[in-house]
Amino acid sequence: MSLRVPLFDFAPGVWPLTGLLLIAPPLLGADDNYLREIEEEAKRQATFLMAGPVQSSAATDSGTDRMAAGANQASFEKALRDSLPGTWAFYLRLSPAGKQQVYEAYQQDNRFSNISEQIIRLQPKDSP
């Protein structure tokens, strides 16, 4: 006489929970890169803001706090992606009209802080 119990008859409520536990870790880690980019940019921005008032005028004139001027929109977007990846993630959520407004603002003032401010200001109202 065998005491074998079919596997699926044993604790039927456990199987959905087990499946969820197998799927959850990859889902929870899906936004890690996005969050890491935002944290890195926040650190860069905080360093810039803390060091801003004590910088000499020579350091400010060197363009370290500015994006290269006069770029076309494709070059602007590439520079934004490379320089401010967290801001880039927010830029991607803008409408085409919003992206155009940011580009026009960049043409008037190419400081990183101004570009970031424009992107945040233009975020869709339903964004978290």
Q: How does pLDDT run along the chain (128 residues), one tens digit per residue?
A: 555 655 555 555 555 555 555 665 555 555 677 777 777 777 777 666 555 444 434 344 445 688 888 899 999 999 999 888 888 989 999 999 999 999 999 999 999 989 999 998 898 876 55
* Phi and psi based region of residue 70 (left: phi greater than 0; alpha: psi -120 to 50; beta: remaining): left
Question: Which pLDDT belongs to residue 96?
Answer: 94
Which pLDDT belongs to residue 58? 38
Q: Residue 86 has what pLDDT? A: 87
| 63: alpha, beta or left? (left if phi > 0; alpha if psi -120 to 50) | left
pLDDT at 36: 77
Least Cα distance to 95 among 56, 67, 123 occurs for 123
